[in-house]
C-alpha cells in the first residue's frame, strides 16, 4: 500500500477548532497510510524567537511565556477527551515549556542568543503542535504515532539550503518504523539535526521542505500541502481580485513563481519531490472538496502564462560606460564583486551594445552594491571608460511564468501591450533562452496597476469591456435589463465579456468590483454621493482592456465631458442629443477626437431610437451616394397626435389624452415645441458634413407662446383656447384631400425646417402606425423612389435596443465575434 504525506501549515493549526478540522480531514481520507507533517500553531514560531530576543536583551519575558504555555494547555483541554490522554499530553507540554524556560533564563544570563540555542527554541512550536494533534487523534480512537524529526533527519548547511543526508535519514526512518510500526505518523516539521548531532532547523518555511523530504523518505504516492487557500493562484489575490486558481503546474513553473514571491510554497520545498517525481498538491484545509493545484513533472502548456508574481523593495544598479563595449570579463568582475560581499542579484539586463549592465538587487543592498562596484572599477572610472555607477530605488520586479510560453509568438507583445495600455513605464527587461519567464522592472508605485493589467492581458478575454451607465431612467433601466439577458450568450458565442461596473444618476452612484450584480436594484443597493471623476476612474479600470460609458441622460453637463473621455480612450455611446446638436465647436472637437484616436463615439439612438437612421445615412455617404433631400417624422408623440387628430376632435383634449397615456414627455411642451425634432435634424445635417446650428433650423412650434411660462396643468387647461387655429388647418387639408403631419426636412444646402405640413393621401408619411417614425432619403441613386426607414421611434425598449446595437458595433470593432 502507498503512503500519502500530508503537511499542515500554521494557519491550519491555529487553534483547537482548526486542529479538530485537520483530524477530521485525515480520518475521512481514503488512504490507509498517512505521514502527517505539521508546522507550529499560527504565530508560535515568531513568538518563540521574540521571547529569545526579549530574554537576551533584558526585557520582561516570563509573562509572555506563561501566556504561550497556557494557550497550548487550553488547546489540549479542548481537544483531548480521555483523562489519561489529556494528562499525558499536558505532561509533555509542561516538560517542553519547562525546558524552554530554562533556556530563556540562560539567554538572560548571557545577554545573547547563541545560534544553536536559537534553532532549538525556534523548533519547539512544531514539537508542541505535533504532540497536540497526535494526542487528539489517539483520544478519538485513531492510530497516531508522534515522531520527533530530530530523531530522523540529518542535514548539513550549504550556501543555498540545508542539504539532507538521504542515506542516514532513510536508515533512521526505517529503524524507527521497525520499532514503531503504524499506519499514521504525526511528524514535527521544520526541525532536524546536523550530521554532527546538533539541533538545527531547515530554515524559515522549512515545514514545507519537511513535508517533501518525508514524502521522498516514505516513497509517497502523493504529497498534499494543506494551507488556508485553495491552491496556487495566477496572481496575488490581494492585488488582483480576479486571480484564478491554477489547476496544474510543472515543477519548473512552480520554482519560478515561488522564487518571484508567490506565496504558499517555498522554492526549496519542491526539490525532494522533483528528485523522486512525486506530485505535490496545494490544498485548502477549510475547503477540502477543492482539488487544489497539482505540481508535477509535466504540468500543461495551457494556459501559456501560468502566473504573475513579483519581488518588491528592489533597486536597479547600473554600471554604464563606453569602456564596457567588447571588454571580456566585465560581467565576471561585476558578479564576483557582489558575490564576495553577499549581495544577491535577482535579475540581469544587458543590451547587445554592452554599453551598460543593469542588475536588480534588494533595495537595502543597493547602496552597498554601488560602493563596491565603484571601488572595483575605480581605474576605469578614473580614465573615463566607465561614466557612472548608480542605483534607482523603489523598484518592483514582475515576472510572467509558463512553459507554454516557449515557442509561442505574441507572449511578449501581450505583456508589453498590457503595460502600455495601463500607462506603465518598463525600466528593464530580462528573458532567458528557455522562454519560460519574462521579467520586467517597474516603479513600485505602479506595481498594483501593472499586476492587474498584465493579469487582464493574459487571463481575460481581449474583448472584456468595463461598462458604466449614466442616467438610470426608463431607457437606462431597459438597457440594463437587455444587457443582463444577453450577457451570458454574448460571452459564450462572441467571446464578449461585458462587465457593468458602475451606474450613476444625477446625485448618486453605484460601483461594483469586479462588477455590479445583474439583479441589483437602485432603491436597495448601497449608493454613494455622485463623484463623477471617481466614477469615471472606476469604470476606466486600467487592468481591463476596454471601457465604455453609456450616457442615457439628457444632460448637456454630461455631454461636456465627452471630449475628456474620448481623449483618455473611453468609448462613448449615447441617445443623448446634446452633444450632436449642441455648439458646433464642441461637436467638431468630438469628431476630431473620434477620427484621430482609438475611442469610438456612437449615437445612433439620438435619431429614430432603435431605427438605423444614422447608419443608413452613413452607408449612403460612404458608398459615394449624394443626398438630395431628407424628410421625416422624427417624433413618436407628434406622429401619434396627428394620426389620431380628426374632424370634430379637440386638439387640446387629444394632447391631454396622450399625456395621461404616457405618450408625451412629463411637460408636453417639450414635444409640441418641435425643438427635439430640430435637434435630430441638426444631427443628420452634421452627419452630412453641414455646419448647421440649432438656431438655423426654422421651427414651427405647436405650443402657443402665451403658455410658455405657466405650469403644466395651466398649459393643458389653456391649450383649448387655441384649438380653432389648428382645427382650421385640419379642415383645409381635408378639403384638399390631404393629411396633417409634423415633418422635418433638410436639403444639401443647409435649408432645415420643422413644420406642420399638409401631405397628399398617397404620401409615404400619410399612413403610419400610431407612434411610428419615418425617414425618406432622396439621393442620386434613390431619386425616383426614396429610401424609406420606418418603425417605432420612441419608447424605452426600442431606444435601449438602439444603444445596445451601438455597443455591439463598438465591441465588433474591438474584435468580438459578432
Contact in structure between 91 and 80 (CB atoms under 8 Å): no
Task: Give me the catalytic one of 7, 306, 452, 680.
Answer: 680
> Would you state the pLDDT for residue 349?
87
Give the CA angle between residues 421, 427, 428 to the nearest 5°: 110
> Would you state the pLDDT for residue 20?
97
> Would you state the pLDDT for residue 559?
96
Of 86-95, 756-765, 808-817, the poorest mean pLDDT is in 808-817
Mean pLDDT of 203-218: 91
Distance CA 726, CA 463 (A): 54
Mean pLDDT of 468-475: 92
CA atoms within 13 A on the CB side of 1: 10
Residue 588 has pLDDT above 80, yes or no: yes
Strands ordered across the beta sheet of 280-284: 145-147, 184-188, 34-38, 4-8, 222-227, 280-284, 293-296, 248-250
**Segment 391-439, tens digit of pLDDT:** 999 999 999 999 889 888 999 998 998 888 777 899 999 987 678 889 9
Distance CA 361, CA 316 (A): 6
Distance CA 231, CA 307 (A): 12
Residue 94 has pLDDT above 90, yes or no: yes
**Segment 624-668, tens digit of pLDDT:** 999 999 999 999 889 989 998 988 889 999 999 888 877 777 788
> Would you state the pLDDT for residue 579?
96
**SS3 call for 439:** strand
> Would you state the pLDDT for residue 258?
76
Contact in structure between 565 and 546 (CB atoms under 8 Å): no
**Segment 500-557, tens digit of pLDDT:** 999 999 999 999 877 776 655 655 567 889 999 999 999 998 777 789 999 999 899 9
Residue 204 has pLDDT above 80, yes or no: no
**What share of the chain has pLDDT > 70, as a percent?**
96
Name 224's Cβ contacts closer than 8 Å, sequence gap at least 6.
4, 5, 6, 7, 280, 281, 283, 292
> Would you state the pLDDT for residue 237?
79
Four-point Cα dihedral 649, 657, 700, 671, nearest 10: -170
Contact in structure between 443 and 425 (CB atoms under 8 Å): yes
Distance CA 639, CA 627 (A): 25
Q: Which of 10, 92, 20, 81 is nearest to 47 (CA)?
A: 10
Distance CA 604, CA 613 (A): 7
Give the CA angle between residues 456, 595, 450 to the nearest 5°: 20
> Would you state the pLDDT for residue 521?
60
Residue 6 has pLDDT above 70, yes or no: yes
> In the annotation, is 452 catalytic?
no
Mean pLDDT of 445-449: 88
H-type helices in 384-426, by residue range? 411-421
Distance CA 767, CA 764 (A): 7
> Would you state the pLDDT for residue 515?
75
Mean pLDDT score of the chain, rounded to an integer?
91
Of 3-7, 108-112, 525-529, 563-567, the poorest mean pLDDT is in 525-529
CA atoms within 13 A on the CB side of 696: 19
> Would you state the pLDDT for residue 221?
97
Distance CA 100, CA 366 (A): 39
Grid cell for residue 430: 530580462
Of 170-179, 324-333, 469-478, 541-550, the poorest mean pLDDT is in 324-333
> Would you state the pLDDT for residue 631?
96
Q: Which of 231, 264, 245, 299 is nearest to 459 (CA)?
A: 245
pTM for the whole structure: 0.71
> Would you state the pLDDT for residue 260?
66
More confident residue, 516 or 727: 727
Mean pLDDT of 246-270: 80
Mean pLDDT of 452-459: 83
775 pairs with which residues across the strands? Answer: 632, 789
More confident residue, 225 or 462: 225
701-711 burial: b if 16+ Cβ within 10 Å, else e? bbbeeebeeee
Percent helix, strand, coil in the chain (nearest 5)?
Answer: 45, 20, 35
Position 256 confidence tier, pLDDT thresholds 50, 70, 90: confident
> Would you state the pLDDT for residue 451?
87
Contact in structure between 64 and 47 (CB atoms under 8 Å): yes
> Would you state the pLDDT for residue 262?
64
Mean pLDDT of 83-108: 96
Distance CA 420, CA 453 (A): 9
More confident residue, 278 or 300: 278
Residue 136 has pLDDT above 80, yes or no: yes
Grid cell for residue 521: 436594484
> Would you state the pLDDT for residue 261?
59
> Would you state the pLDDT for residue 524?
53
More confident residue, 355 or 97: 97
More confident residue, 610 or 263: 610
**SS3 call for 688:** coil
Q: Is 407 left (phi over 0), alpha (psi -120 to 50) or beta?
A: left
Contact in structure between 677 and 638 (CB atoms under 8 Å): yes
Amino acid at each position: 500500500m502507498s503512503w500519502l504525506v500530508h503537511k499542515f501549515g500554521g494557519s491550519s493549526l491555529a487553534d483547537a477548532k482548526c486542529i479538530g478540522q485537520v483530524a477530521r480531514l485525515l480520518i475521512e481520507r481514503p488512504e490507509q497510510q498517512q505521514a502527517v507533517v505539521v508546522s507550529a500553531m499560527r504565530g508560535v514560531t515568531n513568538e518563540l524567537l521574540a521571547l529569545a530576543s526579549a530574554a537576551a536583551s533584558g526585557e520582561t519575558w516570563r509573562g509572555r511565556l506563561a501566556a504561550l504555555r497556557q494557550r497550548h494547555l487550553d488547546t489540549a483541554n479542548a481537544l483531548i477527551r480521555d483523562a489519561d490522554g489529556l494528562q499525558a499530553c499536558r505532561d509533555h507540554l509542561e516538560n517542553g515549556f519547562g525546558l524552554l524556560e530554562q533556556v530563556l533564563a540562560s539567554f538572560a544570563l548571557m545577554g545573547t542568543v547563541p545560534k544553536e540555542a536559537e534553532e532549538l527554541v525556534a523548533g519547539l512550536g512544531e514539537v508542541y503542535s505535533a504532540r497536540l494533534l497526535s494526542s487528539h487523534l489517539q483520544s478519538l480512537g485513531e492510530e497516531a504515532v508522534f515522531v520527533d524529526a530530530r530523531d530522523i533527519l540529518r542535514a548539513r548547511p550549504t550556501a543555498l539550503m540545508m542539504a539532507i543526508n538521504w542515506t542516514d535519514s532513510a536508515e533512521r526512518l526505517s529503524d524507527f518504523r521497525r520499532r514503531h510500526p503504524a499506519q499514521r505518523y504525526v511528524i514535527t516539521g521544520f526541525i532536524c539535526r546536523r550530521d554532527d548531532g546538533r539541533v538545527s532547523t531547515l530554515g524559515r518555511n522549512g515545514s514545507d521542505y519537511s513535508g517533501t523530504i518525508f514524502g521522498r523518505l516514505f516513497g509517497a504516492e502523493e504529497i498534499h500541502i494543506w494551507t488556508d487557500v485553495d491552491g496556487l493562484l495566477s496572481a496575488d489575490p490581494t492585488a488582483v481580485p480576479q486571480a484564478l486558481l491554477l489547476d496544474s503546474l510543472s515543477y519548473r513553473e512552480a520554482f519560478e513563481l515561488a522564487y518571484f514571491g508567490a506565496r504558499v510554497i517555498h522554492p526549496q520545498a519542491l526539490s525532494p519531490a522533483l528528485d523522486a517525481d512525486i506530485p505535490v498538491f496545494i490544498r485548502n484545509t477549510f475547503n477540502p472538496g477543492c482539488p487544489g493545484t497539482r505540481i508535477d513533472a509535466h504540468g500543461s502548456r495551457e494556459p501559456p502564462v501560468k502566473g504573475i508574481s513579483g519581488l518588491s523593495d528592489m533597486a536597479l544598479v547600473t554600471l554604464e560606460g563606453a569602456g564596457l563595449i567588447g571588454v571580456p570579463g566585465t560581467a565576471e568582475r561585476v558578479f564576483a564583486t557582489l558575490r564576495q560581499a553577499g549581495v544577491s542579484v535577482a535579475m540581469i539586463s544587458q543590451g547587445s551594445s554592452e554599453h551598460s549592465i543593469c542588475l536588480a538587487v534588494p533595495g537595502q543592498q543597493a547602496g552597498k552594491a554601488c560602493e563596491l562596484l565603484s571601488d572595483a572599477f575605480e581605474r576605469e572610472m578614473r580614465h573615463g571608460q566607465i561614466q557612472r555607477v548608480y542605483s534607482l530605488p523603489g523598484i518592483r520586479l514582475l515576472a510572467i511564468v509558463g512553459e507554454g510560453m516557449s515557442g509561442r509568438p505574441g507572449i511578449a507583445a501581450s505583456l508589453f501591450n498590457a503595460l502600455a495600455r495601463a500607462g506603465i513605464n518598463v525600466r528593464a527587461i530580462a528573458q532567458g533562452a528557455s522562454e519560460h519567464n519574462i521579467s520586467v522592472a517597474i516603479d513600485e508605485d505602479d506595481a498594483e496597476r501593472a499586476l492587474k493589467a498584465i493579469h487582464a492581458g493574459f487571463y481575460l478575454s481581449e474583448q472584456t469591456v468595463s461598462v458604466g451607465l449614466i442616467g438610470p431612467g426608463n431607457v437606462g433601466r431597459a438597457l440594463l435589463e437587455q444587457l443582463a439577458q444577453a450577457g451570458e450568450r454574448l460571452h459564450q458565442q462572441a467571446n464578449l465579456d461585458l462587465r457593468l461596473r458602475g451606474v450613476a444618476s444625477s446625485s448618486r452612484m453605484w460601483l461594483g468590483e469586479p462588477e455590479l450584480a445583474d439583479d441589483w436594484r437602485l432603491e436597495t443597493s448601497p449608493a454613494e454621493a455622485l463623484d463623477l471623476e471617481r466614477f469615471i476612474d472606476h469604470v476606466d479600470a486600467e487592468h481591463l482592456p476596454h471601457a465604455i460609458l453609456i450616457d442615457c441622460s439628457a444632460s448637456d453637463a454630461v455631454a461636456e465631458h465627452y471630449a475628456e473621455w474620448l481623449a483618455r480612450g473611453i468609448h462613448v455611446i449615447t441617445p443623448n442629443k446634446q452633444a450632436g446638436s449642441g455648439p458646433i465647436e464642441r461637436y467638431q472637437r468630438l469628431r476630431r477626437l473620434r477620427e484621430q484616436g482609438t475611442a469610438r463615439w456612437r449615437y445612433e439612438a439620438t435619431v429614430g431610437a432603435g431605427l438605423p437612421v444614422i447608419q443608413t445615412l452613413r452607408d449612403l455617404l460612404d458608398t459615394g451616394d449624394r443626398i438630395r433631400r431628407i424628410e421625416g417624422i422624427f417624433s413618436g408623440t407628434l406622429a401619434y397626435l396627428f394620426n389620431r387628430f380628426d374632424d370634430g376632435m379637440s386638439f387640446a383634449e387629444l394632447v391631454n389624452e396622450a399625456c395621461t397615456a404616457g405618450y408625451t414627455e412629463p411637460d408636453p411642451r417639450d414635444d409640441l415645441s418641435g425643438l427635439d425634432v430640430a435637434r435630430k435634424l441638426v444631427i443628420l445635417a452634421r452627419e452630412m458634413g453641414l455646419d448647421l446650428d440649432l438656431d438655423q433650423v426654422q421651427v414651427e412650434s405647436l405650443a402657443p407662446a402665451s403658455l410658455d411660462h405657466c405650469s403644466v396643468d395651466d398649459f393643458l387647461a389653456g391649450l383649448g383656447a387655441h384649438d380653432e387655429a389648428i382645427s382650421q388647418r385640419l379642415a383645409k387639408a381635408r378639403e384638399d384631400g390631404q393629411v396633417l403631419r409634423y415633418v422635418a426636412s433638410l436639403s444639401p444646402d443647409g435649408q432645415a425646417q420643422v413644420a406642420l405640413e399638409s401631405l397628399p393621401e398617397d404620401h409615404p408619411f400619410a399612413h403610419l402606425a400610431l407612434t411610428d417614425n419615418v425617414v425618406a432619403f432622396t439621393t442620386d441613386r434613390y431619386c425616383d423612389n426614396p429610401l424609406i426607414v420606418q418603425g417605432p421611434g420612441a419608447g424605452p425598449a426600442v431606444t435601449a435596443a438602439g444603444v445596445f446595437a451601438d455597443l455591439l458595433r463598438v465591441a465588433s470593432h474591438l474584435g468580438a465575434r459578432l
